[in-house]
Structure 1
Amino acid sequence: MSTPSVSAFVEGLSSVPSAPGRNNFFDTAVPANAQRRRNLEIYLQEMLDRSPKVLLLGEAPGFRGMRITGVPFTNRTMFEGPANGFGLFGQGKGYSLPPDSAGVPSEPTATVMWEVLGELQFLPLLWSACPFHTHLAGRPRSNRTPTMAEASLGNAFWQALTELFHIETVVAVGNVAHRSLLRSGVVAPKVRHPSHGGRAGFKRGLEELLLGGAAQ
């Protein structure tokens, strides 16, 4: 059962309207989104039990990842397979895929993210600067870098998560998140985004932060 704080967070997230080129896949007006809201609640509730002190803030959900699952940096393969090395996701954890996930291939960035976190044995909370799917006009199965205005729509949500989880360190994953944090007055370390061949740089950046004590 989700705590009232988690439920209130997801409810607030679902109330933001979609717009041309920006899909809020938690919107209560779409029946299939109920499964995504439930998936997010399961993730946040379990992460509350894990008490992470670091928030990795990415850019925006991809149409093959969080747009489908409702959980940051995950894909359908993670939900259909066994739980990962941290005991998260996988069959039997309560997650489910909505009907519109059929035929959508798994997002590779999510796989890279969790491979690296597993190698480092580092479990932060994951979120996105813009928690809504931004896509090209008329092409819902595409990804588009969110504008600063779109990223600003997510400020209240990552800030709420830092309070709910008592986060001590926020780390920007990529330039969009870093600019969004700076515009909010938060000076945060930045690591390379793991997409588009960024695996090595992403891992190296996290290793440096962990060694320096900036991320624990």
Structure 2
Amino acid sequence: MNIQRQYNLPNCTLILEGLNNNISSTDSTDPRPVLSILVNTECRFMGIANKLQGGSSLLENLVKTVSEYAQGYLSGIPHPVQSQAEEDGINIERVSGQDVHRLIWHPSTQTDKPVEIILTTVQLFDLVEAIDQFIADSQTLPNLSLQLRPLSRRYRPPDEPLAQRAIPATLGIASLVVAGFALFFIPSPEVKEPEPDLSAPPTETVPLGQPSSETPPQQ
């Protein structure tokens, strides 16, 4: 019986077709038959005519290469990634100066030319999500083992020496010390009381409650 699995995302669809090799399901809550033998792999992208289509070698290379590339992209240390397989090799690299990614597939048939697909970041991570759904599906290729490795240390940027990292803090402290010495030697400004204005006529102070000596105006 031919079995098909589709992992649909808005910008990417991963289709796996295969057979059941009399392997019973280990999940009693999932009535779907187990796809244990892969016959065909197909990967399509929205708005792109080219597609990836092959067998188990294409699927394995696609999963490994895309997972490693996405890991490097998210870590901020992107680098060209290429599968080492002789058949259905996949390599991905970021296009310089643009937020797009070039995926090149080398078909197993020697007469076929490499297929190049330019993916946006949204399309790339829809592909990553489709692969994650496939890996999490216990009813699809349960015996497939994928050797996913963390990002190699050789792509990690060198650590900044402690002395170089301490330079900004040292300069900040030195600036504060210099500013403190400069303020110490600046003399304090003298405060002078205002001098009285001798040209103004003296004002007479009238005690509170006493009538003024001035004659009120006539009514």
TM-score over 0.5 (shorter chain): no
Q: Normalized against structure 1, the TM-score is what?
A: 0.23
Q: Which structure: larger Rg?
A: 2
Higher share of residues assigned helix: 1
Higher RCO by CA contacts (8 Å cutoff, separation 6 or greater): 1
